[in-house]
């Protein structure tokens, strides 16, 4: 299994709809961050399916190291430079 690529050192703030299903990119290779575009093929990393429970602007993890996928938990602050 490959290691995820850091797409961005910080959250991707996006507008989400309550009750809608999304696929969060866990590999960091998607060109449609923070959402999956199928670029994970062959990496051994699978996207995370989730249904948004609140809606509105949310910070999704773009460093791909969150302990609370798909939401940013500040893990990007602990990544080595």
pLDDT tens for each residue of 33-70: 999 999 999 999 999 999 999 999 999 999 999 999 99
Spatial contact of 22 and 69, defined as CB atoms under 8 Å apart: no
Spatial contact of 58 and 73, defined as CB atoms under 8 Å apart: no
Spatial contact of 55 and 18, defined as CB atoms under 8 Å apart: yes
Spatial contact of 14 and 60, defined as CB atoms under 8 Å apart: yes
CA distance 25 to 31: 10
Whether the model clears a pTM of 0.85, i.e. scores above it, the answer is: yes
30 φψ region: left (φ > 0), alpha (ψ -120 to 50), beta (else) = beta
Domain locations in the chain? 1-81
Q: pLDDT at residue 13 above 90? A: yes
């Amino acid at each position: 299994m490959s290691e995820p690529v850091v797409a961005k050192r910080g959250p991707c703030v996006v507008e989400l709809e309550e009750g809608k299903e999304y696929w969060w990119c866990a590999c960091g290779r998607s060109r449609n961050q923070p959402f999956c575009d199928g670029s994970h093929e062959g990496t051994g990393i699978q996207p995370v399916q989730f249904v948004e429970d609140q809606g509105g602007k949310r910070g999704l993890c773009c460093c791909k190291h969150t302990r609370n996928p798909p939401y940013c938990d500040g893990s990007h602050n602990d990544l080595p430079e």
